[in-house]
Amino acid sequence: MKKVIIIAILLISQLGFSQSTSEFFKKADAFFKTYVVNGKVNYTEIKKDPSSLNELIDQAAKIRVSKSEPKTFQAFYINAYNLAVIKGVTNKYPVKSPLNIKGFFDKTTYNLGGKQTTLNDLENKILRKNFPKEARFHFSLVCAGLGCPPIISEAYTPESLDKQLQRQTTKALNNPRFIKVKGNKVQLSQIFEWYKEDFTHNGSEIDYVNQFRKEKIPTKAKISYYPYNWNLNAIK
């Protein structure tokens, strides 16, 4: 009888976590649809009423996800990262750049998934470390700088994650302002310089980029990296 009760409690608990995770994705989707337009964030309006953002951050603290369900794990932490970035900027807004906020990436912590983490640790120790071959993270985690690929106006969800990552990566790598090709020379975002190992598991950086390009870059093109734009990705 005790075993039956224990199993029942575990099942109810698991169902509760599942429902709370689904609710988080639903509310996050509504938030991004409201405050993100054309890849930029309406920090002014969020600052006026941060209640929905604060509610999402509080909810994210209570959610538990497991690497045994990788799509749910990845989708949750991608959304959590982007929400935490927006939270960090909003707390100090108006500001011209996330770099103007002391400790923005490596000191300020957020309770996400029941763990206190910085933005750097979320990216590097929770996502990249656990999924080292998933370089598409770099086109979904948005650092609040204009040099980042644009944030999307929807939540990442387990059901649509692969399509969403593919779409965002394809969009970025075909954007002439993000990948700058001139003859036999190509200028890449510094993302490729900082995280080179993520893009060269199965070839060169150009090999990686060409997987998503409509117009292929010559494989022997000379690579350089243009300076990162850290100006805030704010709607003006």
Q: pLDDT of 151-205, one tens digit each?
A: 999 999 999 999 999 999 999 999 999 999 999 999 999 999 999 999 999 999 9
Six-digit token pair at 15?
Answer: 């169902």
Q: Yes or no: say if 139 and 147 are a contact pair by the CB < 8 Å rule.
A: no
What is the domain partition of the chain in residue ranges? 2-145+161-226
Cite the DSSP H helix spans in the chain.
Answer: 2-35, 43-48, 51-62, 70-92, 119-121, 161-173, 190-194, 196-199, 205-210
Work out the number of other CB atoms within 10 angstroms of the CB of residue 180: 14
Confidence (pLDDT) at 1:
55
Helix axes 70-92, 51-62, angle to 10 degrees: 140
Q: Is the pLDDT of residue 208 over 70?
A: yes
Confidence (pLDDT) at 5:
46
Provide mean pLDDT across the span 107-114.
Answer: 98
Between CA 144 and CA 98 the distance in angstroms is 6
Q: What angle do CA 156, 162, 164 make, to 5 degrees?
A: 50
Six-digit token pair at 25?
Answer: 């994705």
Confidence (pLDDT) at 3:
52
Between CA 143 and CA 89 the distance in angstroms is 10
Between CA 28 and CA 80 the distance in angstroms is 9
Q: Is the pLDDT of residue 10 over 60?
A: no
List CB contacts of 131: < 8 A, sequence separation 6 or more: 70, 74, 137
Length of the chain: 236
Strands 40-41 and 180-182: unpaired
Q: Is the pLDDT of residue 226 over 90?
A: yes
163 burial level (CB within 10 Å; 0-12, 13-18, 19+): exposed
> What is the pTM for the complete model shown?
0.92
Residue 192 has phi, psi (to 5 degrees) of -70, -30
Confidence (pLDDT) at 33:
99
176 burial level (CB within 10 Å; 0-12, 13-18, 19+): exposed
